[in-house]
Amino acid sequence: MAVALPECREGVRRQMVCKGMAQRYQTARQCARGVGFVALVFSLTVAALLTTDAYRSGPATTVRAEVLGQSLAQGRAAPQNAQAVAFAREMDQLARRAYFNSLTFRQGGMVLLVLGLLLTAGCFGVAWRLSLNIPDPRTLGGEDPARSDRLAVNAVLVTGIVLLSGATALQVTYGRRTAQPEDRALRARLKNPDLKPGEEHVCPCRKGTPQAALSDQWPFLRGPVMAGRASFTNAPVAWNGVTGQNIVWKVEPARRGASTPVVWGSRLFLTAGDATARTVMAHDTETGALLWRTDVPDGAKAGTPLPEVGEDTGFAASTPACDESQVYAVFATGDVAALDHAGKIVWQVYLGRPKNTYGHASSLVYCGEMLIVQWDQEEQARILALDKNTGKTLWATPRDVGMSWSTPVVMPLCDRFVLLVHASRLTWGLELATGKKLWQVEAVTGEVAPSLAWEGDVWLAANCYSKMIAFKLPQQGEPQKLWEWEDGNLPDVASPVIANGLVYLATDAGEVMCHGLADGKQVWRKEFEEGFYASPVVAGDRIYLVDRVKGMFHVFATGREGKELSTNPMGDPVNATPAFAGGRIYVRGKKHLWCVGQ
């Protein structure tokens, strides 16, 4: 017994040694295999990034690109032209920076790719070698067999973190670096060679006609802020179109149409049209005299049939827009045109024949040098921003919302503009500078003709056989619904107007209503014999409404009392919203064009 005891101890010792070696082999093999898999995934990721960069950017050619060469040649040919020389230097600087950044990114990526592949091969090789020394499983005990798995997992995590950190450092340091201010300025110069040294690219919506210049004019269907509010407070209160009281002038337009007059300075612009011709006209605001009329030719190919239009809509239902130098018109034929104040066509764009049940009727608006067209049709619907100077498309956002006849609204929000476009069920908010859709919300349904109303950071939609709904527009994110109201009639054509926290509406059933903007509750309601198509307009502390059959103007004091100040007959049916400018009211009746003043 004494002789056998050492041999037994030696056997136990050997078993313990074999067990420890087996555990170490297993742990090493699993670690090597795991690290190999991580290195393989990392290598494939780096290869994908390099391939994508090469596909998007092309080969990393020298900085002597063709465009740069032309710019340098122009700078050398005209060394006295400081602007050309400075522009060539800036192009050279930006090209060199882009070239070396791209080269560094690719070289660093190749280094990481090679290291990753070497690590992959080495780890799988070690794992294979270790797999050839598998100990006898009968020598393994039952002490914590998961210990080797935990060590392998930890090794894989550590290796993955190290490799991903290296890739992140490469991407941040050499890859798509955040553009520095000087880089952004140089890129803007490359896209806008006409910019002078030191100037920055400015969005077209912030160039051209300043917002302050609009306040004394009536440049759009719904006035200078696209909301049905006039900027002056001295509009007439009492007049009579039958007797001539306070009628400055009355003329018969050369042609008929349904659009609202727009006014800039001493010019009043109208559109008219039928199946034979579509026309833009200018009248003198002091005398009403016709200054000129210009027919806009059909942009379609000869023989293309005209679209079908409704009797109330016609070919010239869309109200034009005007600024200090031009007037812009869109017709139901699909033609958009800009004319100068002398009546000469500056440019014309053909959008295609609109497919629309009643005919295209959305009106034009602009912001700065961006002319906005809401082209909501059954087919090829889109929102477009055109350059006011050239007619070139700045951006176009496709839509699939069906037909609508409302007019877009540019709503200022802090230091930017949001474009609101309205159709059945959905209202969109677009980034004005790019046309990117920021959000969409469900608003009203049906055949949408009334445009949106807004005040402050609240906008509102209303449509007959649907509801009235108000939203608050935050600085960031989607609009927040405040309330909705659907307990009575709502407008079919006329757009609501908001003033000092109160909402005013006029319906085609002859109702005039006032609601609170904060809660939507009805404040007062009046009924009249005739309905309203023209949208109400607020001027100062008064609200003006005109019915469509008799042309009877109703003037109310704004506020919660619902006090009617006067009724003023025109003696001429009125469908178009009146224009307010320079203390006067310009009315387009069925038979005459009127100017009402003190």
Contact 261, 219 (CB under 8 A): no
φ, ψ (nearest 5 deg) of residue 307 = -70, 155
What is this structure's pTM? 0.69
Residue in the block written with tokens 């046309």: 435
> How far is 503 from 333, CA to CA, in rounded Å?
35
- State how far the Cα of 580 lies from the Cα of 598, in Å rounded to an integer: 13
**CB-based burial label for 211 (10 Å; 0-12, 13-18, 19+):** middle
Question: In 147-202, which ranges are continuous DSSP H helix?
Answer: 147-174, 181-191
Q: Which of 516, 545, 517, 515 has the alpha carbon at shortest distance from 531?
A: 545
Query: Which amino acid is present at 408?
Result: P
H or E segment and range at residue 545: strand 542-546
The Cα-based distances of 526 to 74, 313, 499, 556 in angstroms read 72, 28, 18, 11
The residues facing 443 across adjacent strands are none
63's tokens: 């900085």
The DSSP bridge partners found for residue 454 are 459
Give, as one character, the DSSP assignment of residue 218: B
Do residues 551 and 565 make contact, with C-beta atoms less than 8 angstroms apart? no
How many residues make up the chain in this entry?
Answer: 598
**pLDDT values of the chain reduced to their tens digit, one per residue, 598 residues:** 444 555 555 555 556 555 666 677 677 777 877 887 888 888 888 888 878 776 666 554 544 455 555 555 555 555 555 555 556 666 666 666 666 666 677 777 778 877 888 888 778 777 766 666 555 555 555 555 556 655 665 665 676 677 666 656 655 554 444 444 444 444 444 444 444 555 556 788 888 888 888 999 999 999 999 999 999 889 999 999 999 999 999 999 989 999 999 999 999 999 999 999 999 999 999 999 999 999 999 999 998 999 999 988 999 999 999 999 999 999 999 999 999 999 999 999 999 999 998 999 999 999 999 999 999 998 899 999 999 999 999 999 999 888 999 999 999 987 789 999 999 999 999 999 999 999 999 999 999 999 999 999 999 999 999 999 999 999 888 999 999 999 999 999 999 999 999 999 999 999 999 999 999 999 999 999 999 999 999 999 999 999 999 999 999 999 999 999 999 999 999 999 999 999 999 999 999 999 999 8
User: Cβ contacts of residue 326 below 8 Å, gap of 6+?
Assistant: 338, 339, 340, 341, 346, 388
The residues with which 142 forms a beta bridge, in sequence order, are: none
Rounded CA-CA distance 78/74 in Å is 6
Hey, what are 314's tokens? 């016609």
Q: Where are the beta strands (DSSP E) in 399-457?
A: 409-413, 416-422, 426-431, 437-442, 453-455
Give the list of residues 6+ apart from residue 182 with CB closer than 8 angstroms, or none: none
Burial 61-77 (b: 16+ CB within 10 A, else e): eebeeeebeebbeebee
- 552: nearest Cα among 536, 573, 578: 573
Distance CA(327)–CA(267), nearest Å, equals 10
Could you tell me the two tokens for 446? 């049906």
CB-based contact 123:39 (threshold 8 Å): yes
Spatial CB neighbours of 536, under 8 Å, sequence gap ≥ 6: 228, 494, 496, 497, 504, 505, 506, 512, 543, 544, 545
Distance, CA of 361 to CA of 313 (rounded, Å): 7
DSSP 245: B
Closest alpha carbon to 153 in 46, 19, 37, 21: 37
